[in-house]
Amino acid sequence: MLVSLFVINAIITFITINYNKKLSNHISEVIDPSLAVMEDFEDMMIESKMYTSNWIFLRANQDDKNALLKLHSIDYPVLKSRLNSYSSQWKNKNLADSLNNIQNGFELLLRSEKDIMSSLSKFDDYDDPEKKFGAEEKLESVVLPITSKLIASLSGIVDYEKNLKKTENTSLNDSSVLLRILIVCLALTIIILGIVLSVYMTRKIITPINKIRDIVNDLGKGIIRNVNHKVNGDEIGEMARSVNNLSEKLSAAASFATSVGNRNFDAHFEPLGDKDELGKAIITMRDNLKKSESELQEANYQMRTFFQNIDKVFFSIDMVNQKLLQMSPACEKVYGRTAINFSMNFNLWNEVILEEDKKIIQTMYDCALSGKPAVYEYRIYHKDGSVRWIETNITPTLDKENTLIRIDGVTSDIGERKETEETLR
């Protein structure tokens, strides 16, 4: 629409400028020169009348006689050529015919003047009453009245040309005003359309683009959202559709990653395409985790088998909360009691130790408080009532404030070794 207004305004401006140019050229190249040459023509008729009168009454005024001769032979032919040149460009041909009639009348007047000039060509001719009276009679009856009529007719043509100039100047001014109005209207229209287009672009283009930009930025932060915009067939709609499709694909990738994190390694996922590096990386992660899970399960199975079959008791104690964290199944063989018994009764560790060996446990505890590992041998009461020698190897853990927070250790039955030592002794 704005382009159409520019085109229309340009056409009107071009037409108006051409019209003004034609009017200005017509005024400056036809009307003004025509007025000037007609004023010269009027002056020439007046001079012709004056010089002819002086020819009759001032026989010794040779300058005026020479001027009249020059007017007849040189000045008028030049003036006539100028008159014909400009009148041929007049749009009003009747006016041109009127000027031609005036020229014809002036040429007849010039013949009468030539007759006067011929009758009084010599100095002595002025003494002849008949010639002098005849010349005066022709001046009074022909030259003077015809000159007045011709001047009056020429004045009418001049007035017409002046009115035409005034009319064309008025038209030129009106056209210039119209051109200015058109330019102002175009400027106002451009401003209004600019405001309207700004509001339109803000509502239809900039606002959706800002929403899409915010959502893309959120996607870069890991926040998945959809564009809440009516999807049309334009470019903005295509962008919104593309961003929503990307959000859906990323949401599917996130759901797949969550399933993999929940150890659901059979969850289905399709990459976005052959060049989807993120999708391929997630699938590779799933496959690696699945493989690692299998290896970990195998390792756990072997570890559980190892713990169940080994004769040593592995344990871990939370010293802050006075809680058993872990104890291997071999405790039932060594102590005659299960890990559940020790979990339910935290003091059972001390209860099973012979009274005379409890000082050893106190020494072991003091060593643990300092954070130093230690190995101690002592005797316990087995659940079957027998007394058994055991060896405990502890590794204490202190926090930043050097407070004992955990004890990890291994306990083993050393009864056979003690019997061997006693036998050797």
Mean pLDDT of 114-124: 87
User: Are 33 and 181 in the same domain?
Assistant: yes
Average pLDDT (101-125) is 89
Q: What is the pLDDT of residue 287?
A: 72
Average pLDDT of span 59-73? 89
**28 and 169 together in one domain:** yes
Report the C-alpha gap between 52 and 55 in whole angstroms.
Answer: 5
185 & 312 share domain: no
Predicted local confidence at residue 398, as pLDDT: 92
- Of residues 290 and 71, more confidence is placed in 71
Under 8 Å between Cβ of 154 and 102: yes
Q: Which residues of 375-395 are buried (b: 16+ CB within 10 A; e: fewer)?
A: ebebbbebeeeeebbbbbebe
- Among 190, 225, 251, where does a domain finish? 190
Contact 411, 315 (CB under 8 A): yes
Residues 184 and 310 in one domain: no
User: What band does 390 get if pLDDT is binned at 50, 70 and 90?
Assistant: very high
Residue 256 resides in a domain? no
Is position 355 within any domain?
A: yes
User: Which range (1-5, 55-59, 107-111) has the least confidence?
Assistant: 1-5
- pLDDT tens figures, 8-50: 767 877 787 877 788 788 888 888 898 998 999 999 999 999 9
Cβ–Cβ < 8 Å for 374, 399 = no
Q: What are the tokens at 241? A: 């559709």
237 within domain boundaries: no
Residue 424 has a pLDDT of: 87
Calculate the alpha carbon distances from 425 to 65, 185, 378, 420 in Å.
Answer: 182, 125, 19, 9
Give how far Cα 105 sits from Cα of 90, 146, 277, Å. Answer: 21, 8, 107
Average pLDDT taken over every residue of the chain: 82
Q: What is the dihedral of CA 204, 206, 211, 212, to 10 degrees?
A: 100
233 pLDDT band, cuts 50/70/90, is: low
Whether 254 is covered by a domain: the verdict is no
State percent of the chain over pLDDT 70. Answer: 79
Q: String of b and e for 328-367 (b: at least 16 CB within 10 Å)?
A: bebbbebbbbebebbeeeeeebeebbeeeeeebeeebbeb
Asked if residue 349 lies in contact with residue 342, where contact means CB atoms within 8 angstroms, the answer is yes
Residue 203 lies inside a defined structural domain of this protein = no
Residue 197 has pLDDT above 90, yes or no: no
> Could you give the percent of the chain with pLDDT greater than 90?
22
- What pLDDT, on a 0 to 100 scale, did the predictor assign at position 27? 84
In a domain, 208, yes or no: no
pLDDT digits (tens, 9 = 90+) for 261-318: 676 766 666 666 666 676 667 777 777 776 777 777 776 666 666 555 567 888 999 9
334: containing domain:
305-424
Q: CA 262, 263, 265, 270: dihedral to nearest 10 degrees? A: 20
Instruction: Report the pLDDT averaged over residues 132-159.
Output: 90
The answer to whether residue 412 is domain-embedded is yes
pLDDT (tens digit per residue) in 347-369: 888 889 999 988 888 888 888 88
Model confidence pLDDT, tens digit, residues 170-183: 888 887 888 788 78
Its pTM stands at: 0.47
In this model, does residue 68 exceed pLDDT 70?
A: yes
pLDDT value for 329: 86
pLDDT for 132 equals 87
Which of 131, 156, 190 is at the close of a domain? 190
What pLDDT is stored for residue 22 in this prediction? 82
State how many domains the chain has.
2
| CATH code for the domain of 337 | 3.30.450.20
Lowest mean pLDDT among 140-149, 199-208, 224-233, 396-405: 224-233
Query: 236 lies in a domain?
Result: no
pLDDT of residue 43: 93
pLDDT of residue 169: 86
Q: What digits encode the pLDDT tens for the residues 326-353?
A: 888 888 888 989 889 988 888 888 889 9
What was the pLDDT predicted at 74? 94
Count of residues for the chain? Answer: 425
- Checking if the pLDDT of 242 tops 80, the result is no
Phi, psi of 374 (to 5 degrees): -155, 160
Give the end of a domain, one of 138, 163, 190: 190
Query: What's the pLDDT score for residue 301?
Result: 63
